[in-house]
Amino acid sequence: MRGIVTIDGPSASGKSSVARRVAEALGVPYLSSGLLYRAATYLALRAGVDLEDEGGLLALLEARQVRLVPEKEGNWVLADGEDLTPHLHTEAVDRVVSQVARLPGVRAWVNRRLREVPPPFVAEGRDMGRVVFPEAPHKFYLTARPEVRARRRAKERPGDYEGVLRDLLLRDERDRAQSAPAPDALVLDTSDLGLEAVVERILAHLKD
């Protein structure tokens, strides 16, 4: 597990942007676990699979050759060679991805895909340090006040702030069991910190 840095946190806590910058500084790829959950959700929506039907969803996933392609420039998800990435950050996926991510079988499927990637890398998600890579030597957990995270998310995609905040609070409640810091993770509140400040803190901790 040497050479693995995990960065976890709730939705819109800044973990994706931070992970990309930290990975860039270290000269290694980063892994976006969330893209795999989004890919599972998108495939289910496109195929008309009932999101409560875990067996049907897993059958769909196992029938496709889905893999995460981590590069220093970004992450892509391919299914039988088809690039799903452009379809994964939509309001339709946003609304139900937590529902899909709570399914134990889907979580196990995502974790298997992540563990197929050889280190070194920076892995970001909700439980990378606690569940997927528990023996990773470097673990961080980012958090921020809900209203701050909602403002960040509202800037990223269409939607009014109040609606984004409601959706975010609902997702926080759904993700509560999943999104928790590992016991040995360094917790950073990014509410009043810019991207550069967060990245600098993490890199300084890694150097120490």
- The pLDDT tens digits of the residues spanning 186-195 come to 999 999 888 8
Find the CATH number of the domain harbouring 103: 3.40.50.300
d(C-alpha 167, C-alpha 190), whole Å: 20
Work out the percent of the chain whose per-residue pLDDT is above 90.
61
Provide the pairing of β-strand 4-8 with 121-125: parallel
* Structural domains counted in the chain: 2
Residue with tokens 């299914």: 79
Amino acid at 161: Y
Q: Which amino acid is at 21?
A: R
| Region 176-186 average pLDDT | 84
Show the domain range for 159.
Answer: 1-29+120-208
- The answer on 104 and 43 residing in a single domain is yes
Q: Are residues 112 and 124 in the same domain?
A: no
Taken as a whole, the chain contains a residue count of 208
Cα-Cα-Cα-Cα dihedral of 55, 58, 59, 63, to 10°?
180
What digits encode the pLDDT tens for the residues 133-157? Answer: 999 999 999 998 988 888 888 877 6
